[in-house]
Amino acid sequence: MKIAFFSTKKYDMDFFNKLNEKYNFDIKYFESKLNEKTAILAKGFDVVCAFVNDDLNKKVIKILKENGIKLIALRSAGFNHVDISAAKKYNIKVVHVPKYSPYAVAEHTIALILSLNRKIHKSYLRIRENNFSLDGLLGFDLHGKIVGIIGTGKIGRITANILKGFGMKILGYDKFPNDEFIGEYVNLNTLFEKSDIISLHCPLNKDTYHIINKNTINLMKKGVMIINTSRGGLIDTKAVIDGLKSKKIGYLGLDVYEEEENIFFEDLSEEIIDDKTFLRLTTFPNVLITGHQGFFTQEALTNIAETTLENINNFKNGTLNQNVII
């Protein structure tokens, strides 16, 4: 199996090379993202291995087909960046890693909640400047507060379990409720109206695009905390900026951003960032942004490499019966 590996970072090579000792696949690592301009690089390969900010639109999939690609092996759970109907049309199979470490993302969600609430990001900087004043660092007890979990799948349920341990009351909304969810299911409007913290854990699709928007923000409690470790497109960023300016939103924690593909995963410290919306977000003291690092734990990277290579191996042996999107 010849694998064209896109959006490669050093840590990808470290984990994949180690686990590939078992399979000995021929992996060519490309730093470039997969898009209409770079898809031609896949010529002569059997498989493309892609990540969250690769763009597998209709045109890209057509180019991949013309160049002999038989399998798209996503090293992510989400597949909103793949035109699935085009893959079907061109008879290219798509596999993913549905569960690599839901704990990684749930724990990062908690990190954002605690840091924002107790203003750890500010304390860290203050102490370095010998400023030991507590002014501006006032937080609130999580105990007794209400959290609303939107999307009670693997990550949402683990997040709920952890927050239950803090003594929070857990509300949930899901299109497909799950018996293992420990909270109380309510309708979406009730969740927006009652929650002190709202945490997003549903996939991005046509139903959930901009689920946080001007109208839903209007329903929320004044000073609400919104956390998004799922997908950027769940939030209408401009509406959230208005909510922050009016102080309706008291805290915003983001690990994902609508236009992140032009920013995240790169060192842009010597560059000029041209995204005015993103730059506006970074000016608020009560906004904490991480660059899509929720998945970034040793356990998750090991599982991603293991499952991706096993998916490819199953495809090679004609035994592919799990982790298949189409």
Residues at the contact surface with ligand NAD, assessed by CB under 6 A: 77-78, 102, 105, 150-156, 173-176, 178, 201-203, 207-208, 229-231, 255-256, 292, 294-295
Task: Please give the structure tokens belonging to residue 258.
Answer: 């609508």
Whether 121 sits among the annotated catalytic residues: the reply is no
Please give the Cα distance from 56 to 72 (Å, whole number): 9
**Please, are residues 45 and 68 in contact by the beta-carbon 8 Å criterion?**
yes
Annotated active-site residue 66? The verdict is no
Give burial (CB, 10 Å; 0-12/13-18/19+) of 234: buried
Which residue matches tokens 């997040």? 159
Q: Least distance (Å) from ligand NAD to the CB of residue 138? A: 28
C-alpha to C-alpha distance for 57 and 82, rounded to whole angstroms:
6
Measured CA to CA, the distance from residue 282 to residue 265 in angstroms comes to 17
Smallest distance from ligand NAD to CB 240, Å = 17
Single out the catalytic residue among 75, 81, 96, 292.
292
User: How near is the Cβ of 294 to ligand NAD at its closest, in Å?
Assistant: 3
Nearer to ligand NAD, 1 or 235 (CB): 235
- Report in angstroms how near the CB of residue 77 gets to ligand NAD at its nearest: 5
Q: Which tokens sit at 21? A: 């000792």
> Residue 151 or residue 250: which is nearer to ligand NAD going by CB?
151
Residue 312 CA to residue 47 CA, distance in Å, equals 8
User: Cβ 214 to ligand NAD, closest distance in Å?
Assistant: 19
Please pick, among 231, 258, 261, 310, the residue that the annotation labels catalytic.
231
**290 vs 313 by CB, closer to ligand NAD:** 290
Could you write out the DSSP letters of every residue in 226-286? EEE-S-GGGB-HHHHHHHHHTTSEEEEEES--TTGGGTTTS--TTS----HHHHHHTT-TT
The Cα 291–Cα 279 span in angstroms is: 14
- Residue 39 vs 292, nearer CB to ligand NAD: 292
Beta carbon nearer to ligand NAD, 179 or 270 = 179
Name the catalytic one among 258, 260, 261, 310.
260
Q: At a CB cut-off of 8 Å and minimum separation 6, what does 56 contact? A: 34, 50, 64, 72, 81, 82, 83, 87
Task: At 184, give phi and psi (nearest 5°).
Answer: -105, 125
Q: Which is nearer to ligand NAD, 170 or 256 (CB)?
A: 256
Output the residue with the shortest Cβ distance to ligand NAD.
153
Q: Closest approach of Cβ 202 to ligand NAD, in Å?
A: 4
Catalogue the active-site residues: 231, 260, 292
